[in-house]
Structure 1
């Protein structure tokens, strides 16, 4: 009996251990395999499935946790296996976006109940999809000096003195003053520091959160983020809204990863401004030199804080090239909802359109993004380095493993005989463009592959042997 009891005890310990592993937040290295779909919770889908338009994008439009859960297959079918959602604390007034927390310990009732949030996460995990939660630790709601309205930061002593950020080159001012007059928390106050750290640890454990996106990183002292992300114990990607590689890289010792704003601005210059594609070479080289690890940065072409690409530049071919580059360059890619429907909203809140009524799984954009996401996953590109293969002012080709990506920012024909090829591209190897896998193939001959891009198109080549014939 004693032996049997010991066996049962060991079994229970093992099962508990496995359950803990299964529910643990995911590490930075694990997230490298994921492709993230960014949602504004209020704008994705309603609980009742209504597709009536929103009368005022400055206010709540009705998107919910249940709405997301009911439409997970719309996201998963494109190949996405992670979703970034809006901050969840109860917000002030019409702050549908989630960045104006009023009560840290209450789920925003506009989004749904605590049980509905848990249900969303359970449904995602059942489909092998991870949740990335947007979090804020810099500021609270637009309550000016009425601090008693905020739970738990209800005293003036929890905040920095009121001042506004005017000089973004003054780090002290950026860390101590207010962004857009949002009351600025004093993370050096013991209560504030410990509460924010315990909140992030508890929220991740309670809801089984897989990773976090951190808002307004430069507005808080660096050392705080080191402690905060340690408590989080998962992949954390921080927002440093700046195009300077050295400046953004200076935060990586404190935050595991950053949104790749230097790449975002470089891509805009290349595909909106027609700048030389040698800038892509310079970007990759610069980031590899200055970041502790450039392969875990969050790459993107659009987000909720900037005009959509197609608003500022309506060239569809240029946008397709930029999207492919952002999803295949080194890093963890993020696609902003609506890109798969060709959304082109301008300045906030126009770039935060409602998606309901536009979930067309047969649209050309939906199929385009599905192809690039699924190919990325099928070939495990994250296991291979970003290797430049050929560059001119208007042509940039690179590989990730056996995937060869050819991009251009010009509508003039690009015809290149490439000789620096992936190792798997041997004499006689047939490679096909995944967008036209049966019509657009080429053969390696004499150590060269002829790549032709017409009218600004982008191509993704894979060995023909890796394609599945329907």
Structure 2
């Protein structure tokens, strides 16, 4: 078997204590902050925006270390970083790998990556590595069978025969043909399979990543994922970029979880486009009926492949409601870097802004709201993360659910919108007082299992038990509204 060069070098040169393996159960509590390594922190500390978002902007692993406190202040407990191998020209995002035995020198060296991971662990931040095993980067030759530039996959038999995905409903085509023209690896080839297995195990052992996010999961057969990840000992979550529950759900099992793209689209339709909140209800019920464990699925409002929320709907109050939904619903919330700064980029690469243009501000309304909500979420007992999410009230402009002892009421009406409802079947004794985490006030008294919830000016409502002589005030249960 061909040696995994940079990993073997790192093992001999660095005093790394092996993998910090974290199981699926250990990820249930986490709040993940997704970064593009090239866009998070630049060692030259520029204050102006990157001039060309279609290529490298200068972010590195080592430069990110001083800004880990920023992630912690936001309330995130894990960080998802870009793929680390050497890429073809222009692969600032990391998804166009060229040489899997080398690190992407634009991001730094093995020492810089080790420094970043170890600094995260000192702050009790888990690190999730993005991994690509479906394809390599763009070819520099017009000959579709010329793979000389790639290492170690430089032979025609390392790839599926040339064809381009035209029909994403045709699973055979999706798994055997090229996505956007990128050469498609043949995992059934003994050499390819063996190298991919050795590479990921050595990478985990060398750098101590706590979890893995896999790219383009649907493009690789589910049976291969089950075999490939079975003995890694870390949490695995995959991207199945499809809004259909029936398409995405079968990949949970082979992997610990998937990104919940069906809920992403339901939330987008409801909160960004102001379609009926009944769409959330329908999709959520489909998810519960089809996925093995919805509590492990990745919930998100923004990501690097779609226009940002505020690009479609500039109302930050609507965004706040969507963020509140994912932070307390069943699943692992993922905050895409820049959402907290009100970034509003459109299609790739405009949605991949450099973070330093924001000055890493921590006093703006969205950052402040996220801090309040994540801080409270992080204080909740383990029982909350095993609790079921129970839908309690739905209208076109209102969605209310209860989970454990938290009630979440969200509206898609946006800034200035008001609505109300008498929400039944709540798990609280008669006379229980609830306080609004967001507005910071005593809000509601439960009567016969029902609470009258009023939303003013479009603000989301997060309700928790009010303090009592035997139950002290929850940490930061009071906070500013957006």
Please give the TM-score of this superposition, normalised by the length of structure 2: 0.90
State whether structure 2 residue 420 is matched by structure 1 residue 415: yes
Deviation at 1:452, TM superposition (A): 0.2
Moved more, 384-393 or 441-450: 441-450
Of 460, 466, 470, the residue aligned with 1:464 is 466
- Name the residue aligned to 2:364: 363
Contact 1:87 1:135 in 2 (8 A): yes
Cα offsets for 1:83-128 (capped at 9, x unmatched)? 0000000111111000011110111111111011011111111111
Indicate if the aligned counterparts of 1:379 and 1:403 stay in contact, CA closer than 8 A.
no
Range 300-309 or range 163-172, more displaced:
163-172
Give the drift of 1:205: 1.3
The list of structure 1 runs, each at least 4 consecutive aligned residues, that deviate by more than 6 angstroms after superposition, is none
- Superposition deviation, residue 440 in structure 1: 4.9
Q: 1:72 to 1:149 in 2, by over 3 A?
A: same
Corresponding residue number in structure 2 for 1:230:
230
Task: Give the direction of change, closer, same or farther, for the CA distance of 1:151–1:468 in structure 2 (3 Å limit).
Answer: closer
Could you tell me which residue of structure 2 aligns to residue 47 of structure 1? 43
Cα distance per residue 1:205-262 (max 9 Å; x no partner):
1111100110001111121111221243211111110000011012123122100000
User: Residue in 2 aligned with 1:151?
Assistant: 151
Equivalent in the alignment of 2:239? 239
20-29 or 342-351: bigger deviation: 20-29
Instruction: Find the aligned partners of 2:184 and 2:217 in 1 and give their Cα distance.
Output: 13
Residues 100-157 of structure 1 deviation map (CA, whole Å, 9 limit, x = unaligned): 1111011111111101101111111111110000000000110154312111111111
Q: In structure 2, do the counterparts of structure 1 residues 134 and 460 end up closer, same or farther at CA, with 3 Å as the change threshold? A: same
- Aligned partners of 1:27 and 1:459: how far apart in 2? 32
Displacement after TM superposition at 1:48 (Å): 3.3
CA distance change for structure 1 residues 227 and 21 in 2, over 3 Å: closer, same or farther? farther
Distance 2:18 2:185 in 1: 35
Is 1:165–1:178's contact at 8 Å kept on the other side of the alignment?
yes
Contact kept in structure 2, 1:60 and 1:94, CA below 8 Å: yes
Shift of 1:357: 3.3
Q: Which residue pairs with 1:95 in the alignment?
A: 91
The equivalent residue for 1:434 is 437
Contact 2:36 2:93 survives alignment (8 Å): yes
TM-score (norm 1): 0.92
Cα distance in 2, alignment partners of residues 53 and 275 from structure 1: 34
Consecutive unaligned residues in structure 1, runs of 5 or more: 1-19
Deviation, structure 1 residue 429: 2.1
Distance in 1 (alpha carbons) for counterparts of 2:22 and 2:119: 17
- SS of residue matched to 1:209: coil
Structure-2 separation of matches of 1:284 and 1:105: 42
User: Which residue does the alignment assign to 1:376?
Assistant: 377
Query: How many residues of Structure 1 are paired with residues of Structure 2 in the alignment?
Result: 449
Q: Which residue of 2 aligns with 1:341?
A: 341
For 1:180, what is the secondary structure of its paired residue? coil
Superposed CA offset, 1:301-347 (max 9, x none): 11000000110111222211111112221111101000111110001
- Aligned partner of 1:325 in structure 2 is 325
Determine if contact 1:300/1:327 at 8 Å carries over to the other structure: no
- Aligned CA RMSD, in angstroms, stands at 1.9
Q: Which moved more, 1:305-314 or 1:381-390?
A: 381-390
Partner of 1:104: 100
User: How far off its partner does 1:468 sit?
Assistant: 4.5
Distance 2:356 2:236 in 1: 29
1:200–1:231 CA contact under 8 A, matched in 2 = no
